[in-house]
Structure 1
Amino acid sequence: MSQLLPFPPRLPLGEGFEALNTWLKTHFGGVFDTVGAVIDWSVTTLRDFLTDPQAAQLTALAALVLAAALVRARPVPVLTVVGTATALYVAQAAFALGNTLVNHAPPHLFLWAMHLFGQDSVDANLVIGIVALAALAAVAAVHRVRLPLVGAVTGGWLAAILCGWLLFDAVPGVIAQPTATLTMLLLTALAWAVAGWRLGVFSLVALTVVISIEQWDNAMATLALVLVASLIAVLVALPLGVLAAYSTVVSRVLKPVLDLMQTMPAFVYLIPAIFFFSLGAVPGVVATVVFAMPPGVRLTELGIRQIDREIVEAGEAFGAPPLKILTGIQLPLALSTVMAGVNQVIMLGLSMVVIAGMVGAGGLGNQVYQGISRNDGALGFEGGIAVVILAIFLDRLTAAVARRAPQARTATA
């Protein structure tokens, strides 16, 4: 009897999991390093923009919004402008070519913009953005395409520049945190434009509270981490949800995997994330993506499956290819359900803030964790209030986008 194996036998699942991680790290270490560098750069860049927005960044953002709005109507000139501006940005970053071009141009053409932010020299990146913005506005004016939107974007950009001048130069010493105030006003304007004046007023008051309790930098670090993680999760979840909606086999395979992802404790995701990416924001983003992705997959599949089959058959009868049916019929009609999934992804991402702070991701999660470890109720409470404000802001913003979906409008009508 002593020679018989014990029942039940011990299964070395933990050792196998560790061996798999080691094999992946050994053979694909370069891939993980590249992914980690991209995620870290994305979080850092977005965090720096939210905490200290620059005129060049605001200009590039305005030009990007215009390009996205005009590319379907006039693809050739818009892509030409975008390609030229991108090449100039790359040349400036690599060889400082923009400085050479600007220094050989009459500097008074661009110094007015630099004076608005209290600078005496011309920023080549700002010049590139202004030229690209003007070129896109000229394309819209010549072809008379989406002129109200172009006027709103360019007017908003100019208002942001003038607001920066007012905060930094016109009223020195009156505004305690001018960069935070400028970003707060931009987020308030975004909320007002997307969701109406009620959310705009709430955002103005609530974000002012975040600044007043001196949690703005931490809140923007958390917002950057959540937005990057949510974007990655949505980019992965949407194709998987579409595949699951088109294939019953894929749906059946994904269902237990998604169940496992949702039921496994979030701390478990940190083990391989730290092993592959060390400490910092990157493992926090990876763990957040894994934890928050399942609702995006499920609701994307649900949104496409619940579309009336007769509508799809009508598109097929008119000879529309499958890709056109997906992008022109199914996804627009399922947008309200898909946006509900995006909303859940963002909310679950915020729920991972404290856990991400425990592995060095920083932000509000770190504040809450320090409040717990130090028994500092004031610090933990302030961090928690800032998390709640961000959650309400993002929830109402995504809900407003969902309400504007064609399916939601039809149901309301």
Structure 2
Amino acid sequence: MKRLKTLVEVEYVLCRNDENYKALNHMDIWHDAANHAKTSKSIFVVVPPDTIWPNCVFENSLNALNRAGTKCVAVPYMLTVSETSVPALLEKEESSFQKEIIDISARDLMQLVIDHFHPHLMVLSDNNPHGRPPLELMWPVEKEGFVVRCYTRELFMVDLLEIELTEHFYGQSFKNPDQYYLMRDSDEGFLVGLHALLKYSYIAHADRPLQPFDIAACSLVGANRAPLAWETGKKPILFHKSKRTDNKKWRTVIRSSLLFYHRAMILREALMIHEVVRDSGYGGGAARIISLILQSQDIDFAKKWRYRLSTTFIIEGDLDWDEKNKEKWQNLCKVGNEKILLEEIMKYIIPSRVILDEIVDGQTKTFEALGGVKYNFKREGEYILINGRLVVTNQITGEIKNVVVITQPDTRTKSYIPVGN
């Protein structure tokens, strides 16, 4: 805090005095402090407990926050084994410690991280045979360092007059992605957690390397759910203890890690579409088909899906999950049938975001799906029909803002054109 006080005015606020309060519930303390900061029109800084940082992190965070348009800063996070890293740090920085402040450069701290890497973080290395549910994944760059990609990161510094916070302290209500700044090089700054070796020993690890689906599914678990997952994941974070020299190696790893993360985020969008269909009360059969496609890892659907803009999904809410349909989709999800599967799926996907409210009464608008099927959207008063089928629900979902439209046969009319015909 001494270094921070040389840069800005710092105010200390005592936590609530409540005998029934559980101190481990640190999110409540953070939100109390955030409310105080917002009231006093102060910049809010979040420093997790048992954490150290290089001498550049506060200054670089403030510089980033002062740039036009930036309203919050996120800082990458590393973990070390406290039983060995703390003694090593105190020994190395003995002269600084006697002055009541440890002054350590980013590269010296990065060396400490490499020497005392926590196994809880180490298992997130790409192709590690025993992965765990991840917030991030690391790709080694031989003899140089490693690249990290994460789909979310708690905010380190934030202007609360501009950015609202989620329950789990992620930023939300962004007017545009440029308001969010993520430090992307260890020279710029990072935080280091000092954690006991066995702190995370209770977490189960899979007997296989992590797959894109693991990251997609983990990103939608309660506390991990955060805005700007695409924006965060597409930004590589480079960690190195010395100057980067082999640019070709770095470019190769950055490219391969981006392909992996694109697959994970496409699956994430698909999982959110599955949620909408499953929870709608209409699309039971369609939800099972989507689930089957997502779980068919051998066909790697996300690797083959290239379309990454807003789309509109037309879902038949009355689709039966009978033996005939079940057998059809199980066969489509087998290795070798990927092209046929994509052709079938594309019949139901319009390559744009169709806003139903923009269709006026009596008007018909026609949209063509990626698979060539034409859909006629017609408004009749409060109702909208698509190829004669009644729209029963529609919802914008996901970070890409896909539209999910669920239809049922129109009981008011005999007109009915099955999807795909």
The TM-score, its normalising length taken from structure 2, stands at 0.25
The TM-score, its normalising length taken from structure 1, stands at 0.25
Higher relative contact order structure (alpha carbons within 8 Å, sequence separation ≥ 6): 1
- The structure with the greater share of residues assigned to helix is 1
